[in-house]
């Protein structure tokens, strides 16, 4: 099922109505009607069952990903792709979180945590890969730059630290030759045949910029 949009509630919303609240003002009782909502953020359902995927498998390594993703150096976030389904609408990938990354000492001293913005960037790069990989099958590939056009429904559910392996799953929701809308979830503690702990989720909009040619396709 599609996930709710921004401002909507995953799961259920509990509406509490306080019908009679008595305040004492100068010893005179005043009757006030007050209505408010308490929102319960429920755990999201897994986008798809990835327990069949061999997480130790390398379908495409970091060097191979450079055919599809333009980021280089310290900004490259994905280490490998483990699996892509036949119609190229679902994918499982891995990002290893190490203690020698550029953000380690500053975010946060004494308690290093992978910045949320890098989790979002990882999801954006994975959506770019999925889009280009599908376009390669449909139209021989994309020569233009693919830009990060927007995010929705982003939630950070648990910290990610050096030593963690971030397993990302992505599912295409909408696709055209110009753009992709895809949901991504990230998990830690995954093992073959066993689902891990959800730590992050978002929906990414990526768009082909027809006036901007790729500069790094062969780099």
Which residues are known to be catalytic? 107
Question: In what helix (H) or strand (E) does residue 70 lie, and over which residues does it extend?
Answer: none
- Residues forming beta bridges with residue 213, ordered by sequence position: 144
- Asked if 55 and 94 count as a contact pair (C-beta separation under 8 A), the reply is yes
- Asked if 120 and 151 count as a contact pair (C-beta separation under 8 A), the reply is yes
And the tokens for 183?
Answer: 């949901």
- Asked if 189 and 149 count as a contact pair (C-beta separation under 8 A), the reply is no
And the tokens for 119?
Answer: 């989790």
The C-alpha atoms of residue 173 and residue 111 are separated, in whole angstroms, by: 36
**Beta carbons within 8 Å of 73's beta carbon, 6+ residues apart:** none
- Asked if 65 and 122 count as a contact pair (C-beta separation under 8 A), the reply is no
β-pairing verdict for 165-175 and 179-188: antiparallel
Question: In what helix (H) or strand (E) does residue 75 lie, and over which residues does it extend?
Answer: none
């Amino acid at each position: 099922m599609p996930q709710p949009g921004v401002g909507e509630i995953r799961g259920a919303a509990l509406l509490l109505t306080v019908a009679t609240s008595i305040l004492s003002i100068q010893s005179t009782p005043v009757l006030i009607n007050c209505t408010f909502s308490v929102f319960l953020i429920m755990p999201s359902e897994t986008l798809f069952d990835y327990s069949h995927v061999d997480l130790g498998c390398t379908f495409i390594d970091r060097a191979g990903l450079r055919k599809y993703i333009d980021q280089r150096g310290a900004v490259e976030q994905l280490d490998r792709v483990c699996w892509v389904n036949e119609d190229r609408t679902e994918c499982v990938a891995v990002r290893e979180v190490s203690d020698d990354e550029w953000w380690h000492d500053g975010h946060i001293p004494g308690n290093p945590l992978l910045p949320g913005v890098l989790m979002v960037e990882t999801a954006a790069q994975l959506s770019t890969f999925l889009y280009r990989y599908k376009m390669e099958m449909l139209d021989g590939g994309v020569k233009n730059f693919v830009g990060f056009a927007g995010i929705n429904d982003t939630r950070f559910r648990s910290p990610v630290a050096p030593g963690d392996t971030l397993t990302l799953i992505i599912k295409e929701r909408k696709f055209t030759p110009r753009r992709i809308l895809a949901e991504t979830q990230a998990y830690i503690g995954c093992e073959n045949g066993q689902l891990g702990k959800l730590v992050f989720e978002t929906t990414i909009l990526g768009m082909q910029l027809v006036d901007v040619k790729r500069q790094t396709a062969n780099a």
